[in-house]
Amino acid sequence: MKRSSFVQITLIFLLTIFISGYFSNLGVDPHHDGIMLKPASDIARGQMLFRDTFNQYGALTTILQSWALTIFGHYLIVINLLTVFFYGLIAVMLWLIWSLFLPELLATLACLIWLFLAPYHHPDTYFLPWSSVYALFFQLVALYALLRFLHTKKYPWQIVAGISAAFTFWSRQPVGFLLIGSIIFYFLILRFKKYKIPTVKPFFVSYIGAHAVFFIWLFANNAFSDWFQQTIFVPGVWATTGRDTISMFFFILGNLFPKSDGPLSIWTLMPLSILYLGFIHVAKQKLNDTHALILLIVCVNLASWLQYHPVNDPRHLYWAAAPMIGFCLYAALRLSTNKKRSFTILIICILLFVPDMVNHARLARRKIRKYWAYPTLTRPETLKGMKVQPEEKLFYEDAMDQIEKYEKNNPRSFITTTASDALYSLFDGKNINCSKLTVEWSWKFYSLKMDNDFNKALQSCIAKYKPAIFTHDTYYFPKGYKRVTKGESWTNNYLLLPSEP
């Protein structure tokens, strides 16, 4: 690697770590942070994922986060900083991929564009340790390894690609489904176009082998059925409930082409650029080596575009479109064979990103000023180091005072929740679950078995242990319980404690 390349990669990595790291402790989202932290904390303390604690996403993200908690402590900031590190690795992988097709300085510029478009800059959007970040990293590793294989014809790259593709699935299953589908589709196109490549058996053998390790682990711990129910069946029902075929078509179409205040959203521009690249290369009667590389890029990026569905909020748009940014610039260079005209088109393309980048810089400044004077939490322990609004800090401290006073006289008690914010159940550090359905209570409405199991386990638990309960169900007051804190408007949660010892 050239010295200039190493310097640019290092710069991008460190800049990403610094910027994302700065925003990683600004604000707490009891719902989404709880979805990630609760199962990671549970398995770090010896529970079995899916069987003992709920997880709606792939196991690998939770395993990685549980290792971090085991080493550095059970704090939300720990998995946030682990996610920051993965953002840095993503920046490196993006640069490595884009520099295969772009001049290195343009690859660096594309990374800066990606960094400036991050959703966590918004004052009302929290930094999340979400599974999509980890899946994006492994998706990029798989893509880079396949590109290197096509270039070098060396089989170890296939093995790296196969394992990484499997890891993508086990980080976030929808991304993994789309990735392997795009790769298989790509190989079929190559066969149709009669483009000869060495056997791809090493890729599929390593891909299946990596999956086998996870499935053996699930079967050995009697967790396969719970894994399927929590990560495949119920999310599938949720994504398709309430819409017929026609309405679902328009719903997907609307997600793929998000609304914009301007004439054209950059989140639509980028997929259209990928479609353009695909058109000019698939139309070739005979593929050469360069066309084959670009075609792989097209297939993987178009599959990533489908991640806009079923939720196309700024976070999901950002994670899905990340690989496309550099190739949007590459497409601009390919629009004309005239170098001067291509350069002009490239400048226009870059300028299309500038309004969003300036807006994000403005939002980031507002967020920094907003949180500058906010207090840093010291209680509860799991939220130590996070900066929150003063009203939030008062709520957390009031709740902890009530819980500590109650548990001092009732040492067998612990904290549970009937709502969707599982973060609260970690406030006492005991990691005791009334039910395996601890992370996303609303999922139970999509499964009658989950609903029945949850209600039975919760009632039995309350009768036996009298736990402290966080809830936002105003109609839900177990017999003998009273409300001891007022729900805040930002969470709509409050604490219930037994009215009698």
Together in a domain, 431 and 347? no
The pair phi, psi for residue 415, each rounded to 5°, is -110, 135
Together in a domain, 396 and 308? no
Q: Which of 108-117, 421-430, 473-482, 490-499 has the lowest mean pLDDT?
A: 473-482
Together in a domain, 358 and 415? no
Together in a domain, 386 and 441? yes
pLDDT at 56: 87
Residue 84 maps to a domain = yes
Task: Note down the domain range covering 430.
Answer: 381-498
Together in a domain, 394 and 420? yes
Q: If we measure between CA atoms, which residue out of 201, 198, 204, 197 comes closest to residue 291?
A: 197
The pair phi, psi for residue 54, each rounded to 5°, is -80, 140
Together in a domain, 352 and 421? no
User: 204 pLDDT band (50/70/90 cuts)?
Assistant: very high
Give the domain-ending residue among 368, 403, 434.
Answer: 368
Give the domain-ending residue among 315, 347, 368.
Answer: 368
- When pLDDT is averaged across residues 49-61 and rounded to a whole number, the result is 92
Average pLDDT, the chain: 88
Give the domain-ending residue among 368, 397, 421.
Answer: 368
Residue 70 maps to a domain = yes
Domain count, the chain: 2
Highest mean pLDDT among 115-119, 266-270, 335-339: 115-119
* CA 441 – CA 1 distance, rounded (Å): 50
Residue 373 maps to a domain = no
Together in a domain, 184 and 224? yes
- When pLDDT is averaged across residues 443-455 and rounded to a whole number, the result is 68
Residue 51 maps to a domain = yes
Highest mean pLDDT among 7-11, 331-335, 349-353: 7-11
* pTM of the full structure: 0.94
DSSP for 324-393, written as a single string: HHHHHHHHHHHT-SSHHHHHHHHHHHHHHHHHHHHHHHHHHHHHHHHHHTSPBP-SSGGGTT-B--HHHH
pLDDT in tens, 145-154: 999 999 888 9
Together in a domain, 351 and 399? no
Together in a domain, 220 and 351? yes
pLDDT at 173: 94
- When pLDDT is averaged across residues 380-407 and rounded to a whole number, the result is 92
Residue 376 maps to a domain = no
User: 455 pLDDT band (50/70/90 cuts)?
Assistant: confident
pLDDT in tens, 355-386: 889 999 999 999 999 999 899 999 999 999 99
Residue 374 maps to a domain = no
Together in a domain, 398 and 356? no
Together in a domain, 289 and 266? yes
As a three-state string, the secondary structure of 234-295 is HHHHHHHCCCCHHHHHHHHHHHHCCCCCCCCCHHHHHHHHHHHHHHHHHCCCCCCHHHHHHH
Together in a domain, 169 and 307? yes
Residue 27 maps to a domain = yes
